[in-house]
Structure formats: structure tokens, C-alpha cells
A and B are shown apart, each in its own frame.
Chain A
Amino acid sequence: MSENVKTKKKAEAKLKYTKVKPGTNVAISALFIFLALICLMPALLVLVVSLSSENSIRIKGYSYVPTELSLEAFRYLLHQSSYIGRAFLNSIGITIVGTLFGLITTSTMGFALSRPNYRLRKFFTWFIFIPMLFSGGLVASYMINAHILGLKDTYWAMIIPICCSSFYCIIMRTFFQTTVPDAIIESAKIDGARMIRIFVQIVLPISLPAIATIGLFLTFAYWNDWLMAKYYISGNKHDLFPLQYVLISLEENISFLSRNSQNMTPGTANSIPSETVRMAMVVVSVVPIACSYPFFQKYFVSGLTIGAVKG
């Protein structure tokens, strides 16, 4: 009996320390819901506007309750650029390959810089620090990438030049410093493991949150990039275009057409549903990548929650 009370009390005590008070929980939850709504509402509006008819926008302006729904904008997008499907696949391919490359380059460098005993550590910290601030500029990079390295009009032009970043390397380094204790590596070394094996089999698995974080950043960066395509892919190599570039040039074209109605076939000036098409473009480019977010999220959401602490 008394023992029962004891364990009960103990459990209560634990609960007291692991969980915030219910009132606090409500307050925090409310705060998060509030923030989530502030962030969700505009995005939701994008979706609704993209599904509204152009006429409804004209009359009511942006509204969550359009007078008339229409798929016109999406139809226009599909119709305008027959290579949009191909571009979609390109973007996925570039994003996956690029993210993998990026993870390899940043994690190896980050790991090297995180080892306190690495003799060249200081040199290489400066080595990656300088390019973070100074760059040779567009023309110099263009000359190297397009002419010396021959990347022009290849998929590699959209992958390699942006696969590494000092910012990511340094974040990686900091993660490794705090989460990979030296002792683990030392003991592995005593067991006779080579550094590369230690890195792949021991360091990476315990650094999944870091890998997921940088992987997420890389994925988004690749998905959203269109500058590389603009400069390194010729205008008539349609089959290499990534999605973002197709959308951006379509957008430019719409504004160009509506500015220069003289050059247009009579009767077409008003047929471009420009406002809704713009929003539809956002939907097309955001939805796929937003769907990938929960996949990454599960790795950097802490396992240290109430349930996780064993009793």
C-alpha cells in the first residue's frame, strides 16, 4: 500500500518536471496556432485566388470566398508551356541529385572542421570562410563554368556550382561539435576502424537531425533555383529547363505581352488571366516541395518529449 503510494507520488513528481503545466500548454499551443494561422492564411489565399475566375478577382479583389471558381489558370499554364511536365521531372531530378551532392560535400567538410585534433582545421576554416564573403562575380564565374569547365547546356550546370555552401558547412561543423563526442570516435579508432568508415557508420547515423536540416535547406534551394538555368542553359534547350525557370519566363512573358499589346494578335490582350495565373504558378511550384517538408521534419523534431523519457 505504502509502496504503491510512493511510486504514484514518484510518477507524479516526474510528470511535474517533464511536462509543463496544463495551463502553460494551452498558452503555448494557442501561440503556435496563432502563428500558424498568420502563416497559413496568405498561402491559403494564394490557393483560392488561383482557383477563382478572373472575373471574380476583377469584381471582388482577393477574397477567400470567390464568386466563381475556375480552373482556367491551371489550364492556361498547361496549355502555354507544353514542356511544363518535362520541366517538373527535371526539377525533381536536379533537386535529388543536387541534395545528395550537397550533403556529401558539406558533411565531409563540416566533419573535418569539427575535429579538434585535425591539424589543417584552422586553415580550412579560413578556406571556406573567405568565399562566404568574397566572390569573383557573375562574369568570372560564367567564364569558368561555361568555358573552362564546359558546363553550359548540361544538367550539371544547375547542380554542381551551387551544391556546396560555407554557411551549410559551418552549421554542419557546429552540429558535429556538439553532438558527436570525441570519445565515440576514439573508441572506434581503437577498434581499428578507418576514418571514412567511422564517418559513414558512426557519425552520420547519430547526426540525422543535422543531415535532415541541411538536406532540407539544399532541397529548397535547388527546387527554387532558376538563375543557373537562366545563365547556363540556352534559350532553345527546352528539355533541360527546370520548373521554376519555365514559370519565371512565363511570368515575364505575360507582363511583356500585356505591356506591348501592339504586338499582339487583336483580341488576345484581355484573354490572359494574369492575376490568377500568377497565383496558379505559385501553387504549382510550392505544393510539391511543401509536401516533402514533413519527411524532413520528423528527423529534426526532438525525440525528447514527454513520452520519450523512460520511467
Chain B
Amino acid sequence: MKKLVSLMLALAMVLGLMSFTTVAAADDVVKLTWVQGNSPAPKDNDKVLEYLNNILRERIGVEINIIYMSSDEVGTSIAAGEVYDMYFTCGWYNEFNKNVADGIYANLYKDGKNLVKEWAPKLWESMPESVWELACSSGDNLPYGSGLYAIPVYKDIAPENFIVYDAQVAKDAGIEVPDVIEHWDELTPYLGALKAAMEANPDLGTYPINIGGAPAGVETSFDFISRESLIGVIFGDTKVVSLFDDPTIMERYRTMHKWYELGYVNPDSPLQTEDSINGKQHHVGWTQAWDGYDYTPSRGFWCKMTRYSGPFLNSDGVQGSMNAFSVTLEDDEAKFKKAMEFQELINTDKEVRDILAFGIPGEHFEYRDVKDDAGNVKGQAVVRTQAGKDGYTPWRFSQANYAINSIEASEDTLNGTFPPPDLDQWNRYFSYVADAPVSAISGFTFDYQNPIDFSTQYAEISALKAEYMSRIQCGVVDPDDPENGVPALRAKMEAAGLNDIIAEAQRQLDAYLASKK
């Protein structure tokens, strides 16, 4: 036993002395690593990187290696002390807030010095300042105080939520569904008509609403501070409350339950997942999209959308997809600058951006002319080749700017089977989003581990949500039911310490708002 202990001690000492800093390349080309989701890498990743690096070497003297990992692999890698230069990060991948609090990412906005503006002015200008502001994180306990810890991906940053519906049914039944609704209940007549149509024609399906798990975006319009503990503010307000204090949300739960009671919702929805549900029977669906997005091609029937929430500009939306720099780059300014330059290039250069998204031009995708009804060329869109579809389909939303990325089309949308691609959708989007209402708590980050560590409370609340939430969200139980509904859940959450969390969040928020003035 003694031998074992001494062996372990010796081993421990050896390990303690080791550290795994990456060694900068000796030649003048700077080698950078970038973590992206998801594992495994696209089949042709090496090929595309080789092609891309030829361009990068020439343009900025950089070679990039993109490493594809799943979220828990990145977590393990970071915990074990491995270092990559840049990371894709957000709330649900590579936990952004936790990593910021742990000091994993470099601060780009430190001591009044704006590294992005200084080193990559074009990158800074590619997005409005309000977006940069929303990307910031706050907190007294952050290693460097408040700051900017990642570059947001300029895409659908202001969440807008829609209900997609089968337009043919509405037309047949003579029901007018408005483009914007305030209450879900406004759709009840439409759902009734759909149900009647289904009874007449069982091929359509059985349930107007056929969902797997909670509909995506039931809780949008509530301005979350912590999705884990379901706290936040009612949009525009600064008083921290529980999700269940928002009357809009409660009304949606009640409407869902009403629909369930009417037989409009499939009974086993909480047991299903989105992919176990038959996609073609999605006559009604929830989605986060933007004006101009058309589900008709992917659903295969005539779809229209009605907006029930948004657009809202808040940190939650902007921080939905970002790329951060490793804090170790702060020790190597030359490399840091190159990494920034790389981010600038992929966010501002259309050619590089399209290679990242679609692969090698001519091999993985082709540029094709898009014509309007009169046959005039409106512009170009990208069509993936079979090799592209099979060999290179990385996550696009985690890479860089959408505004400069080519619009993707398919043969069907070019030959007129389906409506032609809307080449202007992003310009339109960014112009109207600029006027969207901005959250009153933008830039605020709740640190749930400092100074009070709420990990234990979060754990309990997470388990409670697993028991109650999906049934409430799917309308299977009455939200006002004292045993299975919100009152029961809320009481248990409070017993687990919800009110302490709210009080601490309010304290941190007040301090943040005071510092901002």
C-alpha cells in the first residue's frame, strides 16, 4: 500500500509540472485551432481546410484547423486543461456563462480598450453597436469585470416566434388567420376547422397539433435571466420574477390545455421527441424564424406563418451563437491579433464565408443564377452538389455572419416547383430588427455561483422541471391544477430556494443597472 501511495505521489508531481500550452508554429504562418460543433467532423473537412488554408495563408498568413467536438467533449477537454485558440460557444453548447465566470475566454473589451475595434475595425463595423452591447457579459465576480467575451454570429439575433400552419385548410374553411396574433386562442377556430377536415379525411392525420415534447418557444417573450431556474423579467421591466408570474406565458399554457381538452393535441406529446413525430403530419408547428422564411419546400405543403412574439432584442438572442478566444492568447499578442484577423475575414469576406459554409466551390457547391418571373437575373444563390450534401455539411449557424453568406437554394426552388429563394431576406431582416424593442436588462449576466453558490438549488430545480414542465407545456395537465400544475411545481421550487435565487439575481441586476448609468 505504501508503495502505491508513493507511486501515486510521484506521478502526481510529474503531472503537476506538465502543462499543455500549444506551441506556436515556427515559420511565419500562424497556426490556429478552432472548436466547432458537432462531432464527428464532416467527411471532407480535411479537403476543405486544405483549400481554405491556401487562401488564408496568402491573405492573412494564417492556417486554420477546425476541430469538431460535441458539447461534453469540449467540457472534458477544457476541464483537463487542453487549449484551443477559438471556441464556438453559447448557452447550450460549451456553456458560455460558466466558462466566462471560470476565466476560460479572453476579454475583448478590457480597461476601456476595445480589441475588436482596434485590431479588426471591419469586423466591428459589420454589426451595429447595439449588437455588440448585447453580446457583453456583466458581473462583479468575473475575472476581469464586465466585458466582451465573444464575437456574436450575426444571424437571426432578435427572436421572432411563429406558428406555422397549413394554409390550404384555412383557405378551404374560409378562415382568415392574421399575420400577427396576440393570443394563441385566436387560432382555436382554425384548429377546429383542421380537426373537422381531419375527421373527414383521415389521411391528413388525427390531431391538428402533433408535437413531440414541448412546442419550441412557448416561453418566448419572457426575458430570461436564467433558463435553468426559470427566472427573468417581463420584457421591458427590471423586476426579477419567476416565469410563472408572466401572465402571457400562463395564458399560453392554459390555451394549450384547452386545446388538449378539445382533442386538438396528440395525447402522448410529452413522451415523444421531435424526431419521433411524423414530420408530414405537422400541420401546425412552432418555430423561430424570420419574415420571408418559407416552410413550404421543407414541409411539402402550402405553409403560412403567424407571428405571436417578437422581434425582441436581448442578450439571450444575441448570445445564441458566438465564437470566443482562449484566455491563453492574451500571453501571445501576435497570435491573438492573427486570430482576430481570422475572425474579421470570415465575418466580412463572402468568398471565405461561403467556403466555410458550403465547401469547395465547383466541388461541393455551385453558384447559380436566380431569376425573377420575367426571367431577369436577380442575383446568385448556392446549390449544393451531391458531393457537398454527402461530404461537407457543418453547422452554419456557429461559424460567422449570415448577412454575407450566400442564400442556399435547391433545384426545386430554381426550376419553379417551389417559390424562388428570397435573396433579400437578410438585408430586410437586419433593417427591421434594428428597430426592435431592446431588453431593459441587456448585457446583464447572472452569476449563479458567486458570491452565493446556487448549484445545489439549480440541481433540484432541474429535476423538478423534468417531472412537471413538459406535461404543463404540452397542455396535458391543467396549469392551475394544484397537484400536477404550476402551483405544485412552484411550491416545490420555492422550497428548493427559488426566492433566494430571485433575491440574489435582483441584487446583481440592480448593481449592474446602477453601474451602467
Q: Which residues of A contact B (CB under 8 A)?
A: 58, 79-83, 138-139, 142-143, 146-148, 230-231, 234-236, 238, 241, 245, 249, 252-256, 258-259, 261-270, 274
Min Cβ gap A310→B in Å is 52
Chain A residues with Cβ below 8 Å from B298 are 261, 264, 266-270
Contacting residue for B274 out of A241, A258, A262, CB 8 A: A258
Binary flags per residue of B3-16, CB closer than 8 Å to A gives 1, else 0? 00000000000010
Contacting residue for B273 out of A80, A255, A263, CB 8 A: A255
Given A234-B67, A238-B43, A263–B396 Cβ distance below 8 Å? yes
* Cα of A274 to Cα of B273 in the assembled complex, Å: 13
> A230 and B278: CB pair below 8 A?
no
CB-CB nearest in chain A for B274: A259
* Cα of A265 to Cα of B390 in the assembled complex, Å: 13
Chain A residues with Cβ below 8 Å from B46 are 236
Instruction: Name, among A79, A253, A258, A274, the residue most crowded by chain B CB atoms within 10 Å (CB to CB).
Output: A258
Min Cβ gap B351→A in Å is 21
Chain B residues with Cβ below 8 Å from A269 are 279, 298-299
User: At the interface with chain A, which of B75-83, B98-106, B124-132, B452-460?
Assistant: B75-83
Q: Could you write out 15 A-B pairs with CB less than 8 Å apart?
A: A80-B390, A139-B76, A230-B70, A234-B41, A234-B67, A236-B41, A236-B67, A238-B41, A245-B40, A254-B275, A255-B273, A256-B38, A259-B274, A262-B289, A265-B389
* 8 tightest Cβ-Cβ pairs between the two chains A and B: A266-B297, A235-B68, A236-B41, A269-B298, A235-B39, A235-B41, A235-B40, A258-B275
Min Cβ gap B381→A in Å is 11
Chain B residues with Cβ below 8 Å from A81 are 43
> A262 and B275: CB pair below 8 A?
no
* B257 located at the interface, meaning its Cβ lies under 8 Å from any Cβ of chain A in the complex: no
CB-CB nearest in chain B for A252: B38
Min Cβ gap A273→B in Å is 11
Given A147-B18, A230-B73, A234-B67, A263–B397 Cβ distance below 8 Å? yes
* B227 located at the interface, meaning its Cβ lies under 8 Å from any Cβ of chain A in the complex: no
Min Cβ gap B237→A in Å is 30
* Cα of A235 to Cα of B66 in the assembled complex, Å: 10
CB-CB nearest in chain A for B297: A266
Number of interface residues of B (CB under 8 A): 47
> Which positions 379-428 of chain B face chain A at CB distance < 8 Å?
384, 389-390, 395-397, 408-410, 412-413, 418
Min Cβ gap B158→A in Å is 15
> B299 and A79: CB pair below 8 A?
no
* Further pairs besides A261-B295, A266-B412, A270-B279: 11, Cβ < 8 Å: A83-B43, A138-B76, A147-B18, A249-B40, A255-B274, A255-B275, A256-B38, A262-B289, A266-B297, A266-B413, A269-B298
Instruction: Name, among A230, A252, A254, the residue most crowded by chain B CB atoms within 10 Å (CB to CB).
Output: A230
* B92 located at the interface, meaning its Cβ lies under 8 Å from any Cβ of chain A in the complex: no
> Which secondary structure dominates where chain B touches chain A?
loop
Given A256-B38, A274-B275, A266–B410 Cβ distance below 8 Å? yes
* B496 located at the interface, meaning its Cβ lies under 8 Å from any Cβ of chain A in the complex: no
Min Cβ gap A209→B in Å is 34
* Cα of A148 to Cα of B412 in the assembled complex, Å: 54
CB-CB nearest in chain A for B418: A266
* Cα of A263 to Cα of B156 in the assembled complex, Å: 12
Min Cβ gap A297→B in Å is 35
> A236 and B40: CB pair below 8 A?
yes
Chain B residues with Cβ below 8 Å from A143 are 15, 80-81
Chain A residues with Cβ below 8 Å from B412 are 266-267
Min Cβ gap B279→A in Å is 5
Contacting residue for B390 out of A79, A138, A230, CB 8 A: A79
> Which positions 195-220 of chain B face chain A at CB distance < 8 Å?
none
Min Cβ gap A26→B in Å is 42
Contacting residue for B40 out of A147, A241, A254, CB 8 A: A241
> A235 and B76: CB pair below 8 A?
no
Min Cβ gap A70→B in Å is 17
Min Cβ gap B459→A in Å is 17
* Cα of A260 to Cα of B69 in the assembled complex, Å: 18
> B43 and A82: CB pair below 8 A?
yes
CB-CB nearest in chain A for B36: A235
Given A143-B81, A241-B40, A236–B68 Cβ distance below 8 Å? yes
CB-CB nearest in chain A for B409: A266
Given A147-B18, A241-B40, A259-B275, A270–B280 Cβ distance below 8 Å? yes
Instruction: Name, among B38, B67, B76, B280, the residue most crowded by chain A CB atoms within 10 Å (CB to CB).
Output: B76
> Which positions 323-342 of chain B face chain A at CB distance < 8 Å?
none
> Which positions 282-302 of chain B face chain A at CB distance < 8 Å?
287, 289, 293-295, 297-300
CB-CB nearest in chain B for A259: B274
Min Cβ gap B353→A in Å is 16
> A231 and B76: CB pair below 8 A?
yes
Min Cβ gap B101→A in Å is 18
CB-CB nearest in chain A for B397: A263
CB-CB nearest in chain B for A144: B15
Min Cβ gap B35→A in Å is 10
Chain A residues with Cβ below 8 Å from B280 are 58, 270
